[in-house]
Amino acid sequence: MNETSAPPVVRVRDLHKSYGGAVAVDGISFDIQKGETFALLGPNGAGKSTTIEILEGYRDRTSGDVSVLGVDPAKGGLDWKARLGIVLQSSGESGNVTVTEQLTHFAGFYPHPRNVREVIEAVGLTEKAKTRISKLSGGQRRRVDVALGIIGRPEFLFLDEPTTGFDPEARRAFWDLIRSLKAEGTSILLTTHYLDEAAQLSDRAGVIAGGRLIDIGAIDEIGGADARIPVVRWRDASGTMRQERTEEPAMRVAALVSEYGGEPTDLEVIRPSLEDVYLDLVRAANAKTPERTIQEEARA
């Protein structure tokens, strides 16, 4: 992302949400810039959904300052909501209408909606356009959810686990769709348990554990440089698996080959992925706070 002097489209400062004695969100702060795709990552119960629901205006916060498109979500009216697109983890679309009928109905709620046929094509449902939603597969219904989220031409799009139920081909088609929305200037907040998806689509990410933001940064910088040092792994003469982090894996491999008189058993060089870095971050955060379990997100 290029540096910009424009105000962020999302601004969160010291956000807290408690339910009685249970803390779901514990002092989170972050910004999302115009045109940016920001991934909010964390295990179930970490506070992601509560944070997103506060940003969407569905849930009140206990304390902190929040703005989305320059508006406090707790006070956002219909004009503000028309500027948003929301793809929830699950939805309750009527199964008694066709895909085209449902999208046409929702398009009427927005001042400048996208073309219904083009949206149906974009989410890969052209052949199912006249099919009742109740007859669609789970993955196809998920595509309807995405179509409903983008039909209003949103300035800011919430994507909460958007590709659940997609097959690999459909996921990659969805990634292309999100890239096209980003190219148009749409700002996006993404949550996903597919870390490769976050790596493919996001400019930056924040990692939440136990209601706290434990790291934030560019996708290729999360966890810091040390977390991305390659790991050389091999099985020694006694049969024990050993591993060593090294910035020069080729030299370490050559040394092992020389030491063992050939390639050691199960020798491999692992370059940590975003998923590896993420898991290390979450484990470290949990280890530092053993007295706190990850809070189950309360539902009012």
Helix axes 168-183, 138-150, angle to 10 degrees: 0
CB atoms under 10 Å from CB of 47, counted, come to 26
- Give the CATH number for residue 102: 3.40.50.300
Q: What is the pLDDT of residue 290?
A: 45
Nearest to 214 by CA among 260, 279, 167: 279
The pLDDT of residue 265 is above 80: yes
Which parts of the chain fold into alpha helices (H)?
Answer: 48-56, 78-81, 99-107, 116-122, 138-150, 168-183, 195-201, 249-260, 274-288
Strands (E), 146-240: 156-160, 187-191, 204-209, 212-218, 231-235
pLDDT band at 97 (very low <50, low <70, confident <90, very high): very high
Residues 206 and 97 in one domain: yes
Segment 46-51 shows an average pLDDT of 91
Query: What does the alpha-carbon distance between residue 248 and residue 230 come to, in Å, rounded to a whole number?
Result: 8
Residues 162, 253: one domain? no
Task: Say yes or no to pLDDT of 149 above 60.
Answer: yes
Asked whether residue 36 falls in the same domain as residue 170, the answer is: yes
Residue 172 confidence (pLDDT) above 70: yes
* Domain limits for position 247: 230-271
- 23 with 136, same domain: the answer is yes
117-148: pLDDT as tens digits = 999 988 889 999 999 998 988 888 888 988 99
Same domain, 45 and 170: yes
* Lookup: tokens for 219: 């996708």
Q: Is the pTM of this model over 0.75?
A: yes
